[in-house]
Amino acid sequence: FAQSKGLATADRLTVKQDGAKYVVSGAPFANQDIQASKKIYQKGSTLIPCWDLSVDLGYTWLNAFVSIATGEIVGVSDWSSDFSDASYLAVDPHNQAPFDNQLVTLKNPWNLDASPNGWHVVKGTERKDLYGNNVAAASNPNGSSSQTNAQVLGLSRPSSDSLTFDYQVDNTKDAMNAVNINGAVTNMFVASNIIHDFFYNYGFTENAANFQFDNLGKGGKEGDGVIATCQDRYNTDSSSRNNANFLTPADGTSGRMRMYVFDVTKPTRDGAYDNGIVYHEMGHGLSNRLTGGGSNPNCLSSSQSGGMGEGWSDLWAVVLTLPATATRDTDIDMGRYVLGGNKGIRTYPYSTSLTTNPHKYGELKSTSEVHDVGEIWCTMLYEVLWNMVDVSGWLNPADLTTGKDSGKGNADFASVVIQGMKNQPCSPTFIQARDAIIAADKTMFGGKYNCAIWTGFAKRGLGMNAKGSPYTNNADIPVECGGTPAPSSTVVTTAAPTAQPTSSAVTTGGASTCAHSICTSGGKLSSTCDSCVAQICAADSYCCTTSWDSICVVWKQLTLAAIGKGNTRTLSLEFTPFVNCFLRPVPPTRWAQGLILAKEFQDKEDSDSSSNSDSASNEENSETEHETKTKNPQMMYTEYKRAEKIWQSYQKQAKDDEDTIKYTLSAIYGGLSKSMQAQYAFHDTPASLWEELK
């Protein structure tokens, strides 16, 4: 390090080790001891073992990454923030748009945690135009759909040696008037950077596949800052009006944002002056990169998941532009500026009033257009936002970027929504995304907001017993949140089986009418159910409460369907102690999914084994192994562990085994009542948790 910087150093230095950290003293150029540790530095696709050095030089403070093998400095960040000041005339970041031509002067509006070198330094070089580490902004009226990123980056853009960008807006003139063009580029640059910094502080960092040209040695793939253009293709494509879009490739390739001119007013207006639209588009980059991971940006492509993508994007426009005096009675419209009136671009304002905004979950049965679906999702989240504010209070949106740890409801809301995106599977449904947010609250805040979240979703029809297609509204909430306790088991067609040795079996045939909810809910079973299923549930009345229906469903899936022959069902009573004792502490919501996956995995193995078997004895052995796996609780545990591994490929969301386990277990814990949580002590680490389950 000293040699590359031309610094004199002593022949001998003193090094003290404390665990993984080292303290180096005796360097004459350092104002204080040098802090060091071993790290892996990612440069492009190469991982380089390095020394991570923190060096106070007095006139500056450097964080350097020095190759252990070669001594070469492979990365360096200047913590002294000695880059130039910058000033921008722009829309207040927490207002939607320049109504009445109102702009404000913003000086150094960046957040140093998210943008440690400000907004204009790229790879150690300070630029004097609207091109920085997070965003490169330009006007592009003569562009084409075939432009490459390099061509767009080569466009001219407003510049200033003093980094002063003070272009005024004039709403009495067209968007394409020279007086408005540079101001629109400036506002787009500012708004895009503002939301980059906001997202960064709530978890959309380099390692989470955010958008930056230089990742400063912090992981992830770099070279992918957002390339943003406004007035895009105005002169070359008449269809490029009244819209905006964001293209999200995989981590390492720049996001591409296009803002268009809106001509529904006279004079025309520029979407780049509407912060809500900029925040909305940047929000697509967040949700597409976090859902499924940065290498798979295609996880929001179905009508339901894509609709949620639109809803999340609206959400950030709402969260960041709510007035400081907002209350739960505040209604907020999107896009009033570009439409030139009091009504926004959505069907209803976002509101907690069912009269003002009647959107509910059940509407999904009659709509699939992504923006319509998005309105429903954002409306639900708006309810959750204000419920969380009721619990922990309100933080002025102007302070949200630095307020992640404030403990306020709207700050914690942003945290759980963004963590929920990381939790959820690829192509999530409303139900899966809801559960991912609830799991995030459990992990991050110990379930502090559990009831606030449940009641918010339930108000809009996404309650505990909401189902996928057909979509019907459900307002059920957990008992601990004031919900109605589930009724005890009432209709069972056969008495509980008498005690028998666990090795014996009961054989029944046919089916009998059964009104128990396990036979009529979830679309899994018909209106009749087998008497042996009723016997299982009757053997344990606790199992038959509503919250434990899934256990019986799993039993049907794993026993009757797995080893049944025609109308004759064979049930080993070994299952009964497994139900009563082994599964009792574990809620069914995730066990059901996990065990069904285990069965699918098992069936595939059985099928493969059978197809590769030429002898009857081999088939018999396969059947015996199948039956053994199904009967033995320890084998079932093993199957569940195997299911956990294939769960990753099913949901395409796990970054590693530990993440999957943590997500799964937080969801399991979330299904327990408070009394059950008290009885069943969960541990801090997945490893110890699995031991407890085992």
Among residues 570, 558, 657, the alpha carbon closest in space to that of 602 is found at 558
Beta strands across the sheet bearing 34-43: 14-18, 21-25, 34-43, 46-56, 61-67, 73-78
- Output the six-digit token pair for 279: 């925040």
Asked if 420 and 433 touch (Cβ cutoff 8 Å), the reply is yes
Position 457, amino acid: F
- Output the six-digit token pair for 273: 């002056």
- Output the six-digit token pair for 43: 């440069």
The residue from 281, 375, 383, 639 that is catalytic is 281
3-class SS at 507? Answer: strand
Helices 588-611 and 657-670 cross at an angle (nearest 10°) of: 130
Q: Known catalytic residue: 375?
A: no
Q: What is the 3-state secondary structure (H, E, C) of 468-537?
A: CCCCCCECCCCHHHCCCCCCCCCCCCCCCCCCCCCCCEEEEECCEECCCHHHCCCCCCCCEECHHHHHHH
Element (H, E) at 373: helix 370-392
C-alpha–C-alpha distance, residues 276 and 318, integer Å: 7
Position 164, amino acid: T
Helices 616-631 and 588-611 cross at an angle (nearest 10°) of: 170
Element (H, E) at 200: helix 178-201
Sign of CA dihedral 343, 349, 353, 355: positive
C-alpha–C-alpha distance, residues 629 and 622, integer Å: 11
Among residues 576, 492, 498, the alpha carbon closest in space to that of 536 is found at 576
Half-sphere exposure of 694 (CA within 13 A, CB side): 10
Residue 18 backbone dihedrals phi, psi, to 5 degrees: -130, 90
C-alpha–C-alpha distance, residues 310 and 377, integer Å: 8
Among residues 238, 226, 343, the alpha carbon closest in space to that of 278 is found at 226
Residue 516 backbone dihedrals phi, psi, to 5 degrees: -60, 145
Sign of CA dihedral 394, 400, 406, 407: positive
DSSP bridge partners of 447: none
- Output the six-digit token pair for 205: 């960092």
Asked if 104 and 143 touch (Cβ cutoff 8 Å), the reply is no
Asked if 481 and 468 touch (Cβ cutoff 8 Å), the reply is no
Residue 85 in marked binding region: yes
Asked if 525 and 597 touch (Cβ cutoff 8 Å), the reply is no
Asked if 24 and 37 touch (Cβ cutoff 8 Å), the reply is no
Half-sphere exposure of 259 (CA within 13 A, CB side): 35
Residue 280 in marked binding region: yes
Asked if 219 and 207 touch (Cβ cutoff 8 Å), the reply is yes
Q: Is the peptide bond before 470 cis (omega within 30 degrees of 0)?
A: yes
C-alpha–C-alpha distance, residues 193 and 346, integer Å: 25
- Output the six-digit token pair for 108: 């150094």
3-class SS at 86? Answer: coil
Element (H, E) at 285: helix 275-290
- Output the six-digit token pair for 576: 């009964």
Instruction: Calculate the dihedral angle through the C-alpha atoms of 456, 461, 463, 469, rounding to the nearest 10 degrees.
Output: -140
Asked if 565 and 602 touch (Cβ cutoff 8 Å), the reply is no
Active-site residues, by number, are 281
Residues flagged as binding site: 85, 280, 284, 310
Binding-site residues for Zn(2+), in ranges, read 85, 280, 284, 310
